[in-house]
């Protein structure tokens, strides 16, 4: 086996090619500002119609201001089409229709009165002015008297004092996102409290929270927009393609499958979503315990209790103190032990085995054990790369600490440490793909001609990813001077590009059906 230095020399990258590659980060190399690599998947895996990677602008990262602009643009469009002057009315209608402009316009044209009544804004009226003849008003909630100016009523004319309104609306907002569907406090009244009423009655802080719930509904009810699942992330992502089974890259740095939208799953390329679901179900399903029992135990012929063999003797006893029945039998043929002896081949060898149904049961158990061993082989490596990916993510987050150590020890420019982030990003990407490559390999036809090529590409990617990881993790204490730092930097920089090439080969091979890889 090659030493680390020999491995590095075998895949060295000259200075000219390095200059052509530039010093892009991994995200820059893989993506443009609003695009992603695209792969077509069906339920069986990647489509074979692509022999090369393709790029397409298919997603956009949105912040709070973007969501506000988009939602209000949608409101204005509906106002113009339906000639409705009230922004609050249209906002209420859109929320009722899950922000679907086309369906809203269609239903409004069919029966505007019914739609408005169902949405809680009957006749598109928001408020009910107070009768000028009333000098004093008695609130039906607190039973106190107020001047008309200290009261408020929606179009339903259920009038209450402002303090009671304020308390009611603040409680609703404190209860969470459903506050955007708050109705009038009168029993059984279905008139909706619109956002203008919230703004006029509650404090600015409470209204800000109410507004955030409106934006949340805009995302939650929109199949083309989803919140980034990374903890604490404030961004959402729009993906306009009809088939949204692809990886997207958030500004927070997290890369994930838009369709799955799950932080723990992340980007599961090269495995289609359906296989990820199947794999995760398999990992958590109690049927795996049943498979283990079938592979490693046999049932008592009398009471059917599972028994595990832990010695060499074929004489088994179903222990009563373990919940069994006390029956004594032969492990091989499951026949009564009283029928065994020298005539059956001895106590440690049963020649009745081939003539019994036990052989069929044992063959099933052997098949189950073989399947279980195969599953554990892939699962163990899946978990190993999953854990390595978590380490790579921590290294990426802590790259600035290593950068500070280098700046302090060798007095170099900050530009000379950019390679650290590039290396950790590449490691993170590689580990993520390697993790799911073992899911892909598990479901790949064992007799397929493509398996050898797949495992060859997988092994190459795995080997060189491990080498880059070893290079990156080298202790700075071993770098004695500036020259040793420069040599190490060149090794890490070049091997980052090398592993990217192996990753591209692997991804291209899988997306191309493993038939056109050079």
Strand pairing category for 255-257 and 225-227? unpaired
In degrees, rounded to 5, the angle at the alpha carbon of residue 513 between the alpha carbons of residues 511 and 518 is 85
Contacts for 183 with CB less than 8 Å, ≥ 6 apart: 120, 189, 190, 191, 192, 193
Going by C-alpha positions, the residue among 211, 206, 269 that lies closest to residue 87 is 211
Record the tokens describing residue 367, joined without a space: 């098949």
> CB under 8 Å, gap of 24 or more: what pairs does 157-165 form?
157/128, 158/184, 158/185, 158/186, 158/189, 158/191, 159/128, 159/130, 160/185, 161/137, 162/201, 164/139, 165/197, 165/201
Residue 154, strand partner residues: 127
C-alpha distances (whole Å) from 355 to each of 345, 351, 363 are: 13, 8, 14
Tokens representing 466?
A: 């491990």
> Quick one: which H or E segment has residue 420?
helix 418-443
Give the angle 148-151-152 at the CA atoms, nearest 5°. 125
Q: Establish whether 300 is a catalytic residue.
A: no
Other CB atoms within 10 A of residue 147 CB: 12
Q: Which two tokens stand for residue 5?
A: 């230095």
Question: How many Å apart are CA 22 and CA 12, to the nearest integer?
Answer: 16
Under 8 Å between Cβ of 195 and 211 = yes
Strand partners for 153: 159
Task: Determine if the peptide bond prior to 263 is cis (ω within 30°).
Answer: no
Q: How far is CA 485 from CA 14, 338, 412, 510, in A?
A: 18, 77, 10, 37
Q: H helices within 264-398, ranges in order?
A: 273-284, 287-296, 358-397
Select which of 156, 260, 303, 313 is catalytic. Answer: 313
Give the active site residues.
313
């Amino acid at each position: 086996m090659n030493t680390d230095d020999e491995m590095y020399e075998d895949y060295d990258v000259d200075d000219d090619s390095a200059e052509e590659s530039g010093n892009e980060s991994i995200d820059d190399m893989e993506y443009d500002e609003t695009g992603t690599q695209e792969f077509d998947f069906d339920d069986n895996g990647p489509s074979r119609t692509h022999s090369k990677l393709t790029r397409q602008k298919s997603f956009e990262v949105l912040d709070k201001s973007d969501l506000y602009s988009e939602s209000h643009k949608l409101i204005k469009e509906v106002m113009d089409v339906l000639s409705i002057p009230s922004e609050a009315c249209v906002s209420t209608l859109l929320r009722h229709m899950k922000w679907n402009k086309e369906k809203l316009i269609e239903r409004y044209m069919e029966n505007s009165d019914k739609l408005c009544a169902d949405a809680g804004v009957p006749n598109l009226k928001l408020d009910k002015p107070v009768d000028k003849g009333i000098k004093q008003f008695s609130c039906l909630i607190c039973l106190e008297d107020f001047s008309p100016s200290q009261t408020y009523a929606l179009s339903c004319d259920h009038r209450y004092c402002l303090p009671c309104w304020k308390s009611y609306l603040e409680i609703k907002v404190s209860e969470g996102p459903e506050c955007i569907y708050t109705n009038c406090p009168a029993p059984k009244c279905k008139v909706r409290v619109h956002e203008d009423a919230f703004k006029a009655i509650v404090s600015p802080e409470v209204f800000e929270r109410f507004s955030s719930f409106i934006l949340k509904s805009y995302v939650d009810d929109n199949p083309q927009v989803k919140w980034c699942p990374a903890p604490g992330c404030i961004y959402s992502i729009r993906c306009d393609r009809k088939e949204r089974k692809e990886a997207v890259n958030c500004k927070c740095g997290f890369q994930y499958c838009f369709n799955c939208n799950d932080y723990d799953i992340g980007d599961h390329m090269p495995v289609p979503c359906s296989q990820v679901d199947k794999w995760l179900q398999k990992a958590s399903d109690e049927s795996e315990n049943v498979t283990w029992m079938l592979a490693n135990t046999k049932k008592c012929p009398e009471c059917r209790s599972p028994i595990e063999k832990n010695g060499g003797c074929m004489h088994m006893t179903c222990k009563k103190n373990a919940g069994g029945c006390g029956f004594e039998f032969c492990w091989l043929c499951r026949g009564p032990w009283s029928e065994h002896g020298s005539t059956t081949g001895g106590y440690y060898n049963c020649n009745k085995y081939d003539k019994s149904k036990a052989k069929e049961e044992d063959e099933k158990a052997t098949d189950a054990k073989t399947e279980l061993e195969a599953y554990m082989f892939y699962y163990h490596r899946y978990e190993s790369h999953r854990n390595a990916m978590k380490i790579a993510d921590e290294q990426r987050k802590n790259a600035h600490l290593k950068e500070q150590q280098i700046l302090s020890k060798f007095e170099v420019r900050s530009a000379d440490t950019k390679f650290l982030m590039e290396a950790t990003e590449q490691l993170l990407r590689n580990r993520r793909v390697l993790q799911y490559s073992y899911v892909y390999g598990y479901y790949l036809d064992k007799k397929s001609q493509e398996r050898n090529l797949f495992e060859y590409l997988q092994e190459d990617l795995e080997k060189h990813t491990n080498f880059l990881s070893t290079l990156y993790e080298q202790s700075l204490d071993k770098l004695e001077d500036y020259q040793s730092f420069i040599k190490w930097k060149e090794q890490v920089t070049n091997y980052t590009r090398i592993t990217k090439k192996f990753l591209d080969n692997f991804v291209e091979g899988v997306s191309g059906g493993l038939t056109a890889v050079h």
